[in-house]
Structure 1
């Protein structure tokens, strides 16, 4: 049995490309049906029993498959076609993994080690939803079920035994942490995000987890702002509206590619006056700056730049690395356990055949014994015949092999038979 994975995420592919391969939860079942149907038509039925699962979030899309024969090229071709790109383009932004590498990746994703935010728990819930969808669609077999159930167990152990989830490495997380120091209850705050790129996406994800009163995305392209805002139940507005509405917001996080500041000192001063000098928390994640540096001098504004946040992020670096190292040890053990189970699965058909053959022999000898008893044969004679018949059937093939072939083959057979049948009881 082979296991393979194909994926692209925030480290390998730009947002627009990832968007081509995003599948909403209600699209998982029909998408899996399409994928599995494509396998049935490939290679003249060589892959009719492919197990499949799709994990799709804002930061990643990953396909996991299991079958007797690996079909990675076909998986790449199918996904490329579904996203309307060439297989070559997809491969340049994707990663392909198989067997232990695929298992390790799944375990790391579930444990939050492959996330934009180290140790974040959201991905685990998203994975569980995706696996339930695959199971409901009838696409999840015993192999992938084992893979993901073990990944969930490993993730639980990582979170219980390490402090991975307690040490975030992102500037977005640092922003939330600092904002929480200023505002007693973030649920009572109104948050404005300026821009709609990956950094704002991440920052919005962090702040949304704290359930603020409102979230607004201000972006030059309204459509892109609306798309991001819709994920958080927020509102979108044009950048041109920013000066007039700035006073509405307690928290402002900005990260655009503008070469000039978008938020000037005068605009902030007017906003503070409208707010009657209630404090504003502002984060400028852009390089060059989105917010004029003079804003930091205002008494009721708490402005943090990329450099300021970098210092916060660096705190606890040693603790984070120690936690990651502990998590990797747990994951290594999980991978080894899964691969051992997978290797054993290769023997299952043979074991089933041996059990079936033994049952046939047993049934035949029992039928013969019952006939002998019906004829009035002595019970000891019947038992002797039954045991003799079973042992002869069991040893017939081994004896035939022992007398077949050349000397070297007979010697190898003799050693195997000795190991199987002449083991000393300990």
Structure 2
């Protein structure tokens, strides 16, 4: 069984490309169907055109071609984890990713990493532990990975190999956070957002802050900004009830997304992170807001992938627009203090990777052991039936048992004996050493 992962992340690709290969949560199930279909040859020709895997098509991940798969998609990465019998699978997966999103292969390929076997396992464990995040040690990625596994499982795309890998991955993440200082020394994305805003405005307490969205990232940012006691905190969300709940927790007010165009000019700081596949704030709306503000500056932070704010907004003279990538320099500060924790975490991960690979190697001999047991049982049944017939004819039970034991012994050692008598030279020596291990306790093959 071949394990591998492919993907792009904030280390290998800019946000402009990452947002093009991102999978909204509702697209992951149909995407898994077309991924499996690409191996089966059913959907490969059309999987990139319109994301149109039939919703009633039953997943068949139990096939020999593609056994298991999971898709992890966040603002910083899109990764596909697979278990397959196909040795050329990474190349096929990259081709599928290119076709699914309609991106030319030569444009995507330079940014994609393909990690086989232990490298894929090590990568998954580093990601879950927050070692591969833009914010070292952040915890949000672990929940996102668990959600990806849950979605793949509900889609019927998980099996024993990926299940075992991810369960061990989650256990490692817990161990790393419990035994190292990686979490204690992390700089959260939300804290970095406040620090970036303070570069534009000396006092957050004098500003009016708007949050667009009500997900986990916005909630974290809202908590950090609320600690600065700004003049106003307002939450705009597609679902009014959820927006109202967040606004109540931070002591702010809630508005609907429909109110944004008319009220955007009221805010000095705008932080946006929604799951929308299209921008929620366009260039025209910001131009009108700037005019109404008489060109007082606006700080805008777009943490969404795909982006919530049209990138042309950043070209306006009175707008300071930053994306999730722009926080990189902020969150990397203080990295030297975290290196001891990183080294400790890497050591834990390396030990767990080796443990998983040993399990994987053991799994590789399971079919052989199963076959051996089947063959041995077939031999046992034949001799048992013969012995029962002898007893039914009135034969001496002691003689029957002797004949049964001798027949079983002869048949069980026939294979090794035949191999020994026909082996020669170094092959014979190796075989003798191997069989000596099997029969060491009886002393039959002592040299």
TM bin (shorter chain) = 0.7 to 0.9
1:136-191 CA distances to partner (integer Å, 9 max, x unpaired)? 111112111111111111111111111212222467524548999xxxxx9xx963
- 2:333 and 2:299 map into 1 onto residues whose CA distance is 23
Q: Do structure 1's residue 96 and structure 2's residue 96 form an aligned pair? A: no
Alignment gaps of 5+ in structure 2: 45-62, 199-203, 227-232, 237-256, 265-269, 303-312
- 2:371 and 2:432 map into 1 onto residues whose CA distance is 23
2:65 to 44, 48, 55: 48
2:405 to 358, 375, 387: 387
Name the CA shift for 1:209/1:32 in 2 (closer, same or farther; >3 Å): farther
2:234 to 209, 214, 219: 214
Name the CA shift for 1:409/1:165 in 2 (closer, same or farther; >3 Å): closer
- 1:262 and 1:211 map into 2 onto residues whose CA distance is 19
1:18-77 CA distances to partner (integer Å, 9 max, x unpaired)? 12222122221111111011112299xx95243111111122110111112321111111
**Aligned residue in 1 for 2:15:** 15
Structure 1 SS opposite 2:183: helix
C-alpha deviation, 1:5, in angstroms? 0.8
Q: Do structure 1's residue 230 and structure 2's residue 274 form an aligned pair? A: yes
C-alpha deviation, 1:383, in angstroms? 2.0
Structure 2 SS opposite 1:165: coil
Structure 2 SS opposite 1:50: strand
2:165 to 140, 147, 167: 147
Structure 1 SS opposite 2:157: coil
Q: Do structure 1's residue 241 and structure 2's residue 289 form an aligned pair? A: yes
C-alpha deviation, 1:373, in angstroms? 2.3
- 2:359 and 2:222 map into 1 onto residues whose CA distance is 40
- 1:378 and 1:209 map into 2 onto residues whose CA distance is 87
- 2:386 and 2:125 map into 1 onto residues whose CA distance is 54
Map 1:286-365 to 2 at 5 A: 314=333, 317-365=335-383
Contact 2:24-2:73 within 8 A present in 1 as well: yes
Alignment gaps of 5+ in structure 1: 181-185, 195-200, 264-283, 287-305
Structure 1 SS opposite 2:82: strand
Contact 2:24-2:275 within 8 A present in 1 as well: no
**Aligned residue in 2 for 1:269:** none
Name the CA shift for 1:391/1:177 in 2 (closer, same or farther; >3 Å): farther
**Aligned residue in 2 for 1:65:** 82
- 1:396 and 1:227 map into 2 onto residues whose CA distance is 75
